[in-house]
Structure 1
């Protein structure tokens, strides 16, 4: 079997799961975090850097790669794996998030989303079928269906229409797909309305997808609202398929979502924050530009084994940012991704040992979260 999701442990005190998602390019241990490589690269890092963090799977983006260099060019270069040099599994987003993030330059109909390229202004007609066509050319292990994301808060009628359209588009994606070596993941929409989320999850669960995602969150709602919707959605999804919460988030958001039954995550936060001098550590967040780090000879995080922490001091890292040296953003991005993987490994071990509640309590205490 090309794709298989095997559950190893389920936490008796919560909804957390530990498992393995097997793909053509190797296994993904869950709960797991995917670094975001939107345009075929995780910003500022080499593939070897990314591998050194412990990441099992990375993410690419259909919209951006479809525009530049173009999916036919990627296919001519041997697919996204060969082009980028990443040998592990890859998941590609469908372009649906751009329905939300580029809403000022697109027009949505039942047939498609029509974009005006942010690069040269050319019109792009992105149908569910074309999204799958692009992703099949990219050769990712997992292709996400095209969905309709709406900003929150929103009127219920608007949310319901987007949710129902997402279901119809998911079916079109599934019917068009032709690669047996590429899993298709459906995306549950429905805003902050539990009834709509449950309806969407049940309708999608009746279709033969290899995995299911919870989408349309982390788009303006509070963390508590996100947790509430996640908790209501995951029980409606097949227990024998991976569950992916899209675009989330802070380390605490990952742990709170693992408790609610989520297996996979992605977010630009660790690399974006790293490029801006913000580090996640076991002692809480660190803003490396702060003057107090100017002559600090201690490591960024003494418990971290990344290059930034084992070879350099806080004072040196601050200097790199103040001097505008590109190495600074690279090292902090590397650290943050390593830290996220460390948190995920800890969660997997805690689920196995039956100590997840204690693990999360310890992390909250370290991070100063009450």
Structure 2
């Protein structure tokens, strides 16, 4: 088993082409990780996820802590065996739930106590316990426990939160069990305040962690502000370590973040949108619920090579979604995850060629052109 590392293979502006080496195999970056919150990428079998080109998936500490329980997963051979995913897994620490489930938790210096959204039972999640759970799950990448502040908090409140996350990062580092191919990532916080982002990035960088995430974005601040924060933050992070933007995002968000130095992404959007009949294509988003697809014999995206697009018509997908048939969300989710993987492959190739700016413009032009309606007979 090789040690955990990230190799930079090429660069175009701030964008980096690289390869992440983990205990369960390599990951080509920039990379998009499908979200498997509860040990499953929703509406997709693991072999279908792999067929899209995805190399790494994400699980969630909070949700797996509640059910089926980390100790149970460990007894059953770890998360890879449990969910039949042979590739690398990154686990979110539960920090996002500190924000999203604020009405169900209490937070202090020690950690967080959650009231389960399932049955009301109480669960303590300290930095040490979060790392222990992720170790029991056998995550290739463990994320530090942090507090993710929502958009709009004042400077003093965000500063206190960011420094709490720094102290938690130190506790996570002490608790993390070193093994070849496994890594702990720190999470840069600081809201939209430049001085706090720089402070967080520099303090975490001094800890010499194997990788770094940028958290606390895509929480309501808008794309332009997200990009501005990345322009402030990324230059402060170690150049030889991978950078992960948490919970982002739409295709144009991903492209813009890659151009600002981000290497790794995750987001629920491909499968969440798939479950509602919204597809991502070279011509922008397509709402398959719309009546104009009722007799459209074309592929969902003629430029796509996924099994959905090469097998089924828009009319059939429209029928499945409107009839609330289970297969509809499955087929659209599979297409969306494939689309994101092809998006990342295209970005990697463009960085290798030194043509990322031109490639990004071509993508944007395609999305701006929009979906072309069917010919009327």
Q: Is the 8 A contact 2:31 2:344 kept in 1?
A: yes
| SS of residue matched to 2:209 | coil
Cα-to-partner distance string for 1:195-220 (whole Å, 9 max, x where unaligned): 10000000000012110000000111
Q: Which residue of 2 is the match for residue 301 of structure 1?
A: 301
Q: Is the 8 A contact 2:283 2:369 kept in 1?
A: no
Q: Is the 8 A contact 2:92 2:142 kept in 1?
A: yes
| SS of residue matched to 1:8 | strand
Q: Which residue of 2 is the match for residue 38 of structure 1?
A: 37
Report the Cα offset of residue 180 of structure 1: 1.3
Report the Cα offset of residue 133 of structure 1: 0.5
Q: Which residue of 1 is the match for residue 3 of structure 2?
A: 2
Q: Which residue of 2 is the match for residue 110 of structure 1?
A: 109
TM-score (norm 1): 0.98
| Structure 1: distance between partners of 2:284 and 2:218 | 22
Q: Is the 8 A contact 2:33 2:56 kept in 1?
A: yes
Q: Which residue of 1 is the match for residue 373 of structure 2?
A: none
Cα-to-partner distance string for 1:257-314 (whole Å, 9 max, x where unaligned): 0010000000000110111110000011100010000000000001111111010000
| Structure 1: distance between partners of 2:315 and 2:338 | 20
| Structure 2: distance between partners of 1:325 and 1:94 | 34
Q: Is the 8 A contact 2:112 2:126 kept in 1?
A: yes
* CA RMSD, 1 decimal: 1.0
Q: Which residue of 2 is the match for residue 349 of structure 1?
A: 349
Cα-to-partner distance string for 1:128-147 (whole Å, 9 max, x where unaligned): 00000000000010000000
| Structure 1: distance between partners of 2:35 and 2:270 | 9
Q: Which residue of 1 is the match for residue 375 of structure 2?
A: none
Report the Cα offset of residue 35 of structure 1: 0.1
Task: Please show how residues 224-239 of structure 1 align to structure 2 within 5 Å.
Answer: 224-239=224-239
| SS of residue matched to 2:124 | strand
| SS of residue matched to 1:110 | coil
Q: Which residue of 1 is the match for residue 132 of structure 2?
A: 133
Q: Which residue of 2 is the match for residue 119 of structure 1?
A: 118
Task: Please show how residues 78-97 of structure 1 align to structure 2 within 5 Å.
Answer: 78-97=77-96
| SS of residue matched to 2:281 | coil
Q: 1:241 to 1:369 in 2, by over 3 A?
A: farther
Q: Which residue of 2 is the match for residue 280 of structure 1?
A: 280
| Structure 2: distance between partners of 1:147 and 1:366 | 38
| Structure 2: distance between partners of 1:369 and 1:95 | 39
Task: Please show how residues 155-194 of structure 1 align to structure 2 within 5 Å.
Answer: 155-181=154-180, 182-194=182-194
Report the Cα offset of residue 369 of structure 1: 7.8
| Structure 1: distance between partners of 2:152 and 2:225 | 11
Q: Is the 8 A contact 1:136 1:179 kept in 2?
A: no
Report the Cα offset of residue 4 of structure 1: 1.4
Q: Which residue of 1 is the match for residue 331 of structure 2?
A: 331
Q: Which residue of 2 is the match for residue 76 of structure 1?
A: 75
| SS of residue matched to 2:17 | strand
Q: 1:265 to 1:2 in 2, by over 3 A?
A: same
Report the Cα offset of residue 120 of structure 1: 1.1
| Structure 2: distance between partners of 1:369 and 1:194 | 35
- Structure 2: any 5+ residue segments left out of the alignment? 371-377
Report the Cα offset of residue 179 of structure 1: 3.6
| Structure 2: distance between partners of 1:44 and 1:343 | 21
Cα-to-partner distance string for 1:14-50 (whole Å, 9 max, x where unaligned): 2000000000111000000000000000001000110
Q: Which residue of 2 is the match for residue 217 of structure 1?
A: 217
Q: Is the 8 A contact 1:8 1:19 kept in 2?
A: yes
Q: Is the 8 A contact 1:186 1:209 kept in 2?
A: yes
Report the Cα offset of residue 161 of structure 1: 0.7
Cα-to-partner distance string for 1:36-66 (whole Å, 9 max, x where unaligned): 0000000010001100110010000000001
| Structure 1: distance between partners of 2:209 and 2:39 | 25
| Structure 2: distance between partners of 1:141 and 1:216 | 22
Q: Which residue of 2 is the match for residue 261 of structure 1?
A: 261
Cα-to-partner distance string for 1:81-117 (whole Å, 9 max, x where unaligned): 0000000000000000000100011111000111101
| Structure 1: distance between partners of 2:154 and 2:113 | 23
